[in-house]
Amino acid sequence: MPMLHGCAFPGCSTFTLSTYCVEHELLVRAVKESERAQAADLLEVDADAALAADAALTADATLTAAASDPAAP
């Protein structure tokens, strides 16, 4: 069984021991990392939106309670 085989990247004719040659391995890793970063950013945006909505509801409840309290100046 041969140890070397062609890079799995389409159109690349470099022989390698791993799935991709060094050049394409770095490219594939960069793409995967950017996809992970985008997913993390989306989760962070969703969490920020939930916190903002929570703060808005809390502020609205506080204002409503203050407006209905006759002892408030």
What is the structure's pLDDT at 11?
94
In-domain check, residue 36: yes
In-domain check, residue 31: yes
In-domain check, residue 42: yes
Q: How many structural domains does the chain have?
A: 1
Q: Domain range spanning residue 28?
A: 24-65
What is the structure's pLDDT at 60?
54
pLDDT tens sequence across 5-64: 999 999 999 999 999 999 999 999 999 998 888 877 776 666 666 666 666 656 555 555
In-domain check, residue 29: yes
What is the structure's pLDDT at 13?
93
In-domain check, residue 18: no
In-domain check, residue 53: yes
Task: Provide the 10 A C-beta neighbour count for residue 21.
Answer: 19
Distances 62 to 33, 46, 52, 58 between C-alpha atoms, Å:
43, 24, 15, 6
Q: What is the pTM of this model?
A: 0.49
